A and B are shown apart, each in its own frame.
Chain A
């Protein structure tokens, strides 16, 4: 096994960069905002202001359309699920079963528990009416007369905000019986979870909504056929459902012109870690990763003048990438903030858009320790139904803890690799994969950092950071 960890231990070069290098991507929609366009309007949390800014126009328009026509617009928009998997929303909607006499339900997934992700919270906290408006339109399209928002229990102050928005919408005739004289009835209810990441998985969420433990169901049957209370159910992410508003307002085709390729529309990115400006940003998916990290409009560069070491671009379960593979693909092309580009190179040299939880690491951060915290997270959150996930996550946590604290052996690295491979694909729900991927990617790209911990058991306890040679410095020039 290679142990050349010290050899590459050197200061990386500084590259001078010019931002806004969008090369071959159409930029007519550069910087367009659809979801957060009014985020900074004072009072936007309340109905009157939201309405004055053009709110609820999508409901007025949609209720004059047929449900099928709305589904068609969402299909044309190319909107992909914003919860992590990126499944086309319109297609999902068209799968919903419509057995005679059985009610259907829309459930909004506001469980948001993927580490690094806090975009749905922002939307619900500051622009609650946008979600409510999207829910009304979507409920009409799907024929849901009782729609539920399942929100993670820890966001304990947000249900009040949502319930106030619901009450305001109702007082103004946008919810309740016979909405705007259309004959369509709809109620929206907020249900709090109680602390379980797994309840973000759609079938676990449905179990939880039924008042049970959050154990994912075996599929099929899919929720579109048998969901909550065995009724046809569609589960969509908060951001997905909010995006239905601009889709109806603009029309699906216009919406699809924003962005690039199969990454249509805009995406909310929650950025955190060692950057100057952590927060929630709406991007059109034509900007480069480099611009997103370094421009003042977004992350504002790496904090404290440090160098960029690595990044997890789409929430804790997607592969971590070292700086060089983050900013450029393996082919040396610019990497962009969209579904296709972020996954360019597959898991060998790419990652995923995931939930849009963008975690940035500077040169002082230790990949081993970070991976250990994620392994602990997944062990804690495993529902325990399948042995590869229940046992494997615990083993990975223990081994990673040992390596991180200088008690690891070289063979532990191969053992870790072996365990993650045996979890992946062998479980009921994708939490198993989500636990395996971060470990696999950390070893794949930062193996010599693991080795360094094994070879330097004392030093790795004294200064708890890894190898800086992965880091890359960029200096923005005008």
Chain B
């Protein structure tokens, strides 16, 4: 359990943004880095982050459990986080959630058995004018339709096949 050389440099860079002794402020950004590298935040990962920032493990657990973007269990290679709040709901987000679930054979909160996809419902992502929408990794997929969902799933499958 260790960060890459490059990530360790990044951690130092982030800590330098805050006053002396306030390195705990780096916790959220460093947890993002950890999740990027390990996919999710295991207790071991959280303990490692605590040691990097010289804080107690409990301080990391407290934070990791508060924020919805941190995965406390393993997730699929591709995570579809579909917004279901009002403005997306009136543009048909329920149908999109149901359709993705049907295509992948999973319910919100579940991961496909091949470990490729996780489906999750989330609250407003600040893309209400481009609804229905979902987050996939770092980016947003907006103006979703069934055709678009099909294309995204196909693309993920292709990418996974070529990368393995």
Beyond A191-B28, A194-B32, A196-B66, whether A270 also contacts B90 by CB under 8 A is no
Find chain B residues with CB under 8 A from A144 CB. Answer: none
A and B contact pairs by CB, cutoff 8 A, 9 listed: A191-B17, A193-B28, A195-B69, A208-B28, A270-B128, A272-B129, A365-B90, A370-B89, A373-B86
- Determine whether B112 belongs to the interface, using a CB cutoff of 8 Å to chain A: no
Residue of B67, B70, B126 touching A118 (CB-CB under 8 A):
B126
B62–A374 contact, CB under 8 A? no
Q: Are A211 and B19 in contact (CB under 8 A)?
A: no
| B window 113-164: CB within 8 A of A | 122-131, 135, 137-139
A-B contact count (CB 8 A): 141
- Contact A194:B70 (CB < 8 A) given known A118-B127, A278-B129: yes
Give the A interface residue count (CB, 8 A). Answer: 56
Bound state CA distance, A156 and B89, in angstroms?
23
A208-232 contact mask (Cβ, 8 Å, vs B): 1 or 0: 1111111000000000000001000
- CA–CA, A146 and B19, complex, Å: 9
List B contacts of A374 (CB < 8 A): 85-86
In the assembled complex, which residues on chain A have CB atoms less than 8 Å from the CB atom of B25?
191, 209-211, 229
Alpha-carbon gap, A229 to B84, bound state (A)? 36
B63 within 8 A of A: yes
Asked if A115 is at the interface of the complex by the 8 Å CB criterion, the answer is: yes
Check: A316 CB closer than 8 A to any chain B CB: yes
Knowing A211-B63, A213-B66, the reply to whether A192 touches B29 (Cβ < 8 A) is yes
CB-contacts of A273-323 with B (<8 A): 273-274, 278-280, 316
17 other contacts beyond A272-B87, A272-B131, A381-B123, with CB at 8 A cut-off?
A: A103-B19, A115-B123, A116-B124, A117-B126, A191-B25, A192-B32, A194-B32, A195-B68, A196-B66, A208-B28, A211-B25, A229-B22, A278-B129, A359-B87, A361-B90, A365-B90, A376-B123
Smallest CB–CB gap between B69 and chain A, Å? 4
Q: Is the CB of A280 within 8 A of B28?
A: no
Establish whether residues B127 and A194, one from each chain, have CB atoms under 8 Å apart when the complex forms: no
**Taking the complex as formed, is B107 at the interface, i.e. its CB lies under 8 A from any CB of chain A?**
no
Give Cα distance in the complex from A116 to B90, angstroms: 12
Contacting pair B126 A152 (CB below 8 A)? yes
**Contact in complex: B24, A156 (CB < 8 Å):** no
B100 within 8 A of A: no
Q: How far apart are B72's CB and chain A's nearest CB, in angstroms? A: 12
Give the residue name and chain of the A residue nearest to B63 (CB).
A213
* B97 interface residue per 8 A CB criterion: no
- In the complex, what residue of chain A is closest to B85 when comparing beta carbons? A115
Q: Do B62 and A212 touch (CB < 8 A)? A: yes
User: Which residue of A112, A116, A153 contacts B67 across the interface (Cβ within 8 Å)?
Assistant: A153
Which residue of chain B has the shortest Cβ distance to A210 in the bound complex? B25
Asked if A191 and B29 make an inter-chain contact with CB atoms under 8 angstroms apart, the answer reads yes
**CA distance in complex: A48, B129 (Å):** 30
Q: Is B26 an interface residue (CB 8 A)?
A: yes
Complex-state Cα separation, A196 to B19, whole angstroms: 25
Known: A116-B87, A192-B32, A377-B85. A156 touches B138 (CB 8 A): yes
> Hey, what's the 0/1 contact readout for B18-59 against A, CB within 8 Å counting as 1?
110010111111011000000000000000000001010001
Is A380 interfacial (CB 8 A cutoff)? yes
Minimum C-beta distance from B155 to chain A (A):
18
A95 is an interface residue with CB less than 8 A from chain B: no
Among A191, A211, A229, the one with the most B-chain Cβ atoms within 10 Å of its Cβ is: A211
Q: Quick one: closest B residue to A378, CB to CB?
A: B123
Does A155 sit within 8 A of B, measured CB to CB? yes
A191 to B29, CA, bound (A): 7
Expressed in whole angstroms, the minimum distance between the Cβ of B46 and any Cβ of chain A is: 13
Interface string of A337-367 (1 = CB under 8 A from B): 0000000000000000000010101000100
Q: Decide if A211 touches B85 in the complex (CB within 8 Å).
A: no
Neighbour of B90 across the interface among A157, A208, A273, A381, CB < 8 A: A273
> Least Cβ distance of B164 to chain A in Å?
24
B86 touches A316 (CB 8 A): yes
What are the residues of chain B within 8 A of A316 when measuring CB–CB? 85-86, 124
Check if A234 is an interface residue, CB within 8 A of chain B: no
**B84 closest partner in A (C-beta):** A373
CB-based contact B67/A157 at 8 Å: no
Q: 6 closest pairs, A vs B, by CB?
A: A211-B27, A278-B129, A194-B67, A195-B68, A195-B69, A211-B24
Q: Tell me the minimal C-beta distance from B137 to chain A in angstroms.
A: 8
Are the CB atoms of A194 and B68 closer together than 8 Å? yes
Question: A113 near B62 (CB under 8 angstroms)?
Answer: no
Cα separation A152 to B67 with both chains bound (whole Å) = 11
Chain A residue nearest to B138 (CB atoms) is A156
A195 touches B128 (CB 8 A): no
Which residues of chain A are within 8 angstroms of B131 by Cβ–Cβ distance?
272, 278
Give the CA-CA distance A272 to B127 in the complex, in Å: 9
A187 to B32, CA, bound (A): 22
Give the docked Cα–Cα distance between A229 and B125 (Å).
29
Q: Which residues of B contact A196 (CB under 8 A)?
A: 66-68
User: A residues 33-76 with Cβ under 8 Å of B?
Assistant: none
Q: Which of B22, B62, B87, B139 contacts A156 (CB 8 A)?
A: B139
C-alpha gap A393/B83 in the complex (Å): 19
Tell me which of B27, B28, B67, B69 has the highest count of chain A C-beta atoms within 10 A of its own C-beta.
Answer: B28
A155 CB to closest chain B CB, in angstroms? 7
List chain A residues, Cβ under 8 A from B138: 156-157
B55 to chain A, nearest CB (A): 8
Output the nearest chain B residue to A152 by Cβ-Cβ distance.
B126
- A369/B89 in contact, CB under 8 A: yes
